[in-house]
Amino acid sequence: MIALDTNILVYAVSPGGDPRHAQAAAIMERLFLVSAIIPLQVLGEFLNVAQRKTIIDSDIARQRVEEWLPLFDTAVTDAADLLEAARVSRSSKIQFFDALICTIAGRSGARHLLSEDIQDGMVIGTLTILNPFNPTNQDRLDALIKPLR
């Protein structure tokens, strides 16, 4: 299973210009072919970023989340996740909320987290971070998410 970090969602809805927009949009389309998860923490961060940075109108951001909810598995945060994320943050030297996303994704059965923000290739428990915008990861990404034909 693959999990998504906030930056993938943000790039997918950002107006053109940035080449990561097209890549992220294509990734989102391809993820319908596999089992993918978006932690609720990520959806909340997406709504916050969309509003704070005015990437897109907040009503449109909310509509996107409403569209994604039935298409992807979601995972909620529980009390044990908070404590584990604190441990992961300290031991892996990553930001707490990134550690929380990793913790939730790993507990939910994800083996890969697509993220630009966390160190590419980092392994946290059974979860491997994969930067989908790193060209050297393209073959691995294609193996995880079968290309559309």
Rounded to 5 degrees, φ, ψ at 75 are -135, 130
Q: Give the pLDDT of residue 149.
A: 47
Per-residue model confidence as pLDDT tens digits over 28-37: 888 877 889 9
The count of domains in the chain is 1
Does residue 112 fall inside a structural domain? yes
Residues forming beta bridges with residue 36, ordered by sequence position:
2
Q: In this model, does residue 51 exceed pLDDT 60?
A: yes
Q: Give the pLDDT of residue 119.
A: 95
Q: Average the pLDDT over each of 64-73, 88-97, 138-147 and give the range with the smallest value.
A: 138-147
Does residue 149 fall inside a structural domain? no
What is the average per-residue pLDDT within 111-118? 95
CA–CA separation, 144 and 31 (whole Å): 9
Percent of the chain with pLDDT over 70: 97
What is the average per-residue pLDDT within 109-113? 95
Q: In this model, does residue 73 exceed pLDDT 50?
A: yes
Whole-model pTM: value is 0.90
Q: Give the pLDDT of residue 147.
A: 54
Residues forming beta bridges with residue 4, ordered by sequence position:
114
Host domain of residue 91:
2-144
Interhelix angle 6-13/40-52, rounded to 10 degrees, is 50
SS3 content of the chain, % helix, strand, coil (to 5): 55, 15, 30
Tell me the pLDDT of the chain averaged across its residues: 90
In CATH, what number is assigned to the domain containing residue 42?
3.40.50.1010
Q: In this model, does residue 91 exceed pLDDT 90?
A: yes
pLDDT band at 134 (very low <50, low <70, confident <90, very high): very high
